[in-house]
Amino acid sequence: MRRYTSLLLTAFLLFILVVAGSAYFAGAGHDDRTRPLREIVVYTTLPAEHAAILTNA
C-alpha cells in the first residue's frame, strides 16, 4: 500500500490541476451577456448609400 500512496497523490494533484485549468480557460465567473450591445460591425460590398439606408432601418 505504501508504494501506491505517491501514485495516488500524484493522480489527485493532476486531477485538481486539470479541473482548475479547465475552469480558468472556460472563463468561469466571466459573463459577457450582462453588458448591452453597443455597436455592430458589418462588412458589405453594397454602395455607401445603400448601407446607410439599411443602417437607419
pLDDT value, residue 28? 60
Residue 10 pLDDT grade (very low, low, confident, very high; cuts 50, 70, 90): very high
Residue 13 pLDDT grade (very low, low, confident, very high; cuts 50, 70, 90): very high
Nearest to 40 by CA among 30, 54, 50, 27: 54
Whether the full predicted model's pTM is greater than 0.75, yes or no, is no
For residue 51, the tally of other CB atoms under 10 A from its CB is: 13
Mean pLDDT score across all residues of the chain: 83
Do 7 and 14 meet the contact criterion of CB atoms below 8 Å apart? no
Mean pLDDT of 31-56: 80
Higher pLDDT, 40 or 33: 40
